[in-house]
A and B are shown apart, each in its own frame.
Chain A
């Protein structure tokens, strides 16, 4: 059965901390892995990763994919209260099905 597992389920940190969110997957015919941020509304796109070892960066956020070990990490440095959200990982299968993990809930305290 195809699955995407995210860890930890939730995380509480203080402003300025660095966090690492994990996403592991077992999916047939992998096409790509995506990260989304969800606040109290629809998910918003962060990164798409298709090749191993190539880091994607956007400001304080970065992500990398390891297709050999079947996982991805999302790093957030110098966290701010505005980073508080649920972070979702999704894998696109060969048939264009999207399989989401259950998410990591991040709370950043001032």
Chain B
């Protein structure tokens, strides 16, 4: 089954404790992206990657890191989480082609930083 998977699905952590949220896709998509979703603010792009070893900042990259060492994986790293990073996070993937820009979303990771 074609899908994007994220782990963990739920995470409660404390300020300053480094964490990684994993994202993996099995559709051989070049493009992968991370979003955060907050009430009243919609989906905001954190980072995106056009292909292996190519990453770019989205609109809200501060406090996050990413890496793209393999095509299928795109982990999101919070080196020193703070309470304002409490949010619902989505990973997404797509082809990079003018034929379609449709993104496939993972199930989401709900992160709480206390």
Residues of A within 8 A of B (CB): 31-32, 34, 41-45, 48, 50, 88, 90, 92, 95-103
Contacts and interface: CB of A to CB of B under 8 A. Distances in A.
Nearest to B41: A102
A92 B101 contact: yes
A32 B94 CA distance: 14
Contact of B102 (A34, A102, A103): A34
B45 interface: yes
Given A96-B96, A99-B59, A42 B105 contact: yes
Interface in B97-114: 98, 100-108
B31 interface: yes
B59 A31 contact: no
Interface string B14-50: 0000000000000000010101000011111100101
A100 B42 contact: yes
